[in-house]
Chains A and B, each alone.
Chain A
Amino acid sequence: MDAKRIEALQSTARSVRHHILSLSSQGGCFIGASLSCTDLLVYLYFEYLSIDLSSLDDPERDYVLLSKGHDVPAMYGCFVEKSWLAKDRLANHLKSNDSIYWHPNRNIPGVEFHSGSLGQLPSVGAGIAQDCKMKGRHNRVLVIMGDGELNEGSVWETFLVASNLHLNNLCFVIDRNYFQANVATEDLMPLEPLEEKFKAFGIDVLRINGHDFEELDGAFRKLPFSDKRPSAIICDTVRGKGIPSIERRADRWFVNFSETEVEQLRQELAGGQAAQLNSETLTVR
């Protein structure tokens, strides 16, 4: 990937982060996890995937399932940049005249499947991957999961099944931002060593910096990692990435900022000084 291309992706990612900020007031959104997977989603939608709104019926197209549904602002940000979603519709967030709310749903074209309850889309992805395989198609099926989501037993069931069915067209992508909702993963339910867990379940795994477009490209271009086994890509990321004053903060998972704070955060995102945040720290769950 050349420097110019990387710069273009970085620029798109900045725009997506601005769209995320647009959703972070007047009811708020899950900003931390949205920012941690922004670069990953930008890479997938703008560089890697073969998906277009005009060809959703194409039997060869790729699939992305957003299993960690609360980071849907990052997905909608990508949709705006792809012109799949009109930018002014972001103002309808949490209003009953539209379908833009805290979790993804199929009323927004481009969303593959709704989510919100964790640990459910890996199995849906396995079903899609199985059909593609049975039909001899070469679609790539990606399931984006949170690291906290790995707490759910259902994901490990799916790992066993996917491995047993040799679903090498299926890839589990982990946004490893080291936080559950309000607690650091390693303080609550330690996941490391994580690669070994995947390997033990018969899944080939690569671990990369999820904010580095070259590393993302290096890993995804290697898919499938084997002709027999499912793949996993662990993206080490930073929750809140791009806005230092909310990075790696357990208490900035869900936020509902004032308009003034959003303005300051936009400046911080553009390289300005740290925002002064006074809005209440929310623990919504």
Chain B
Amino acid sequence: MTYQDILRDRALADERLVVLTAENRALIRDLPPVLRDRFIDVGIAEQTMIGMAAGLALRGRIPVCHALAPFLLFRAYEFIRNSVAIPSLPVVLSGYIPGFLSDGNGPTHQALEDMSLMRGLPNMEVYCPADLEDLLAMLPHVLGTSKPAYLRITTQASGFAHSAFQAGRAEVLSVGRDVNIVVAGYLFREALRARDLLEEQGISTGLINIRCLKPLDEECLTEVLNSKSNIVTIEDHFRAGGLFTSLAELVAKRGIRAKIIPFAMNDQWFKPALLKEVLQYEGFTAEALSQKIFQEINTLMYVKFN
């Protein structure tokens, strides 16, 4: 089962579904002959794609706009804001190669503020699957939501057996006594291994896959934030406006006493290279993450005991 398999099956079962793209066909290349006039490639014209999606939605369609995340969201931001978010039309914005997944393309292609921009829009929901398995698990829900939605596409398979997707719920893999890692998106697999590395060092570490940044699973997160453990956030996103900010807002709103250690791109774009090297260079491999977390909590414990 792939992303386009689900789109195809849903489209065949529901004639309201229309797939639009701005000539980004890599993931949906087999759809045109099956969907026929319900596959619309507008060429490299993202703003027109969003406007058309709004028009189609006004007529009762469920448009899925599939394009590279930076162009889909940033080029067409005002069209999304005005024609999709304000009228709260059920348009799915499906953004490919977000975050680190743009590897060697350079800053123009680095969608590191995508979650920030989309969660800032009233009515917009934000989904950030951890891997292909997670994407496939949540896709039926995303296609069925009656709200505007941003889906941050991750197509790398991790082989991890995720729990069934539940709307509004994060996926809690385990709860740790010393550290709890909350992760959004592609870095899930690194976070998973980082947890295991920390556990091997005798540090009780939990892991939560956030799955949906908006609406946020506040109940689950409040419990974790109140657990007196060290909280770590990991995201391939700018530190401002994404997962870390969402948790920080929750901490402030509920008056929770907690320290959050953020792993994110801090006010700078990442060095373009092939993906594996990006993770190494920017310090987001499981090894680098677990080492830094280990150092951080030792320092914190030192502070606590002195």
Binding site for B on A (CB under 8 A): 27, 69, 94-96, 99, 101-103, 105, 114-119, 148-149, 151-153, 180-183, 188-189, 283-285
B74's nearest neighbour on chain A, judged by CB, is: A117
* Contact of B23 with A180 in the complex, beta carbons under 8 Å: yes
Best-buried of B47, B96, B104 by chain A (most CB within 10 Å): B104
B69-80 to A contact mask, C-beta < 8 Å, 1/0: 011001100000
Question: Is chain A's binding surface mostly helix, strand, loop or mixed?
Answer: loop
Known A-B contacts A180-B44, A182-B23; the reply to A114 vs B108 at CB < 8 A is yes
A252–chain B nearest beta-carbon distance, Å: 15
* Contact of A283 with B44 in the complex, beta carbons under 8 Å: no
Known A-B contacts A183-B23, A285-B23; the reply to A105 vs B44 at CB < 8 A is no
Task: Provide the residues of chain A in CB contact with B278, threshold 8 Å.
Answer: 96
Task: Provide the residues of chain B in CB contact with A116, threshold 8 Å.
Answer: 105-109
Known A-B contacts A96-B277, A153-B45, A153-B47; the reply to A148 vs B109 at CB < 8 A is no
Q: Does residue B88 face the partner (Cβ distance < 8 Å to A)? A: no
Contact partner, B108, options A69, A94, A95, Cβ 8 Å: A69
* Contact of A148 with B44 in the complex, beta carbons under 8 Å: yes
In Å, the complex CA distance between A117 and B110 comes to: 11
Q: Size band of the B side of the interface?
A: 20 to 34
List 10 contacting pairs A-B, 8 Å CB cutoff, sorted by A: A95-B273, A96-B277, A96-B278, A96-B280, A101-B104, A101-B272, A102-B105, A116-B105, A151-B43, A283-B26
Contact partner, A148, options B26, B43, B68, Cβ 8 Å: B43
* Contact of A152 with B44 in the complex, beta carbons under 8 Å: yes
**What is the count of residue pairs linking A and B with beta-carbon distances less than 8 angstroms?**
93
In Å, the complex CA distance between A228 and B82 comes to: 38
Contact partner, B26, options A27, A149, A284, Cβ 8 Å: A284
A96–chain B nearest beta-carbon distance, Å: 4
Binding site for A on B (CB under 8 A): 23-26, 29, 41-45, 47-48, 68, 70-71, 74-75, 96, 103-109, 271-274, 277-278, 280-281
In the complex, the 6 A-B pairs of residues with the closest C-beta atoms, listed nearest first: A116-B108, A151-B43, A189-B43, A151-B44, A96-B281, A101-B272
Contact partner, A117, options B25, B29, B75, B96, Cβ 8 Å: B75
Contact partner, B274, options A94, A149, A153, A180, Cβ 8 Å: A94
Task: Provide the residues of chain A in CB contact with B41, threshold 8 Å.
Answer: 183, 188
In Å, the complex CA distance between A4 and B219 comes to: 77
Task: Provide the residues of chain B in CB contact with A101, threshold 8 Å.
Answer: 104-106, 272-273
Known A-B contacts A101-B273, A119-B44, A180-B43; the reply to A283 vs B29 at CB < 8 A is yes
In Å, the complex CA distance between A96 and B44 comes to: 29
In Å, the complex CA distance between A99 and B273 comes to: 9
Task: Provide the residues of chain A in CB contact with B25, threshold 8 Å.
Answer: 181-183, 283, 285
* Contact of A188 with B43 in the complex, beta carbons under 8 Å: yes
A205–chain B nearest beta-carbon distance, Å: 21
